[in-house]
Amino acid sequence: MKRHAFEEHNEPVWVELEKTMEVLEKGKPVEDASRVPGLFRQVCSDLALAQHRMYGRKLCERLNTLVITTYGQLQRSTNNGGMRALKFATVTFPCAVRAEWRLFWLNMAIFWIPMFAFIAAAHFDPRWIFTIVTPDLQRNMDEMYGAGASMDSLRAHYGSDFMMWAFYIQNNVSIGFRIFAGGVLFTLGAIFYVGYNGLYCGAIAGYIHYAGHTENFYRFVVGHSSLELIGFIICGVAGMRLGLSLLKPGRLTRRIALREAGKRALPVMYGGAIMIFLAAFVEGFWSASDATPTAKYIFGITLWVLLTLYLLFAGRGRNEA
DSSP string across 243-301: HHHHH--TTS-HHHHHHHHHHHHHHHHHHHHHHHHHHHHHIIIIITS---HHHHHHHHH
Q: Taking all residues of the chain, what is their mean pLDDT, rounded to a whole number?
A: 87
Cα angle value 214/218/220 (rounded, 5°): 125
CA–CA distance, 26 with 191 (Å, rounded to integer):
47
CA–CA distance, 266 with 235 (Å, rounded to integer):
10
For residue 260, give the amino acid letter. Answer: E
Is residue 269 within 8 Å of 240, Cβ to Cβ? Answer: no
Q: What is the pLDDT of residues 247-276, one digit of tens each?
A: 999 888 998 999 999 989 999 999 999 999
Closest to 280 measured CA to CA, from 173, 137, 199: 173
Whether 320 has a pLDDT exceeding 60, the answer reads no
For residue 261, give the amino acid letter. Answer: A
212: phi then psi, degrees, rounded to nearest 5? 80, 30
Mean pLDDT of 69-88: 76
Q: What is the pLDDT of residues 181-196, one digit of tens each?
A: 888 888 999 999 999 9
Q: How confident is the model at residue 73 (pLDDT cuts 50, 70, 90)?
A: confident
pLDDT of residue 131: 87
Mean pLDDT of 233-251: 93
CA–CA distance, 300 with 222 (Å, rounded to integer):
5
Q: How confident is the model at residue 72 (pLDDT cuts 50, 70, 90)?
A: confident
pLDDT of residue 318: 67
Whether 321 has a pLDDT exceeding 60, the answer reads no
Closest to 35 measured CA to CA, from 47, 46, 27, 43: 43
Residues in the chain: 321
pLDDT of residue 83: 76
Q: How confident is the model at residue 155 (pLDDT cuts 50, 70, 90)?
A: low
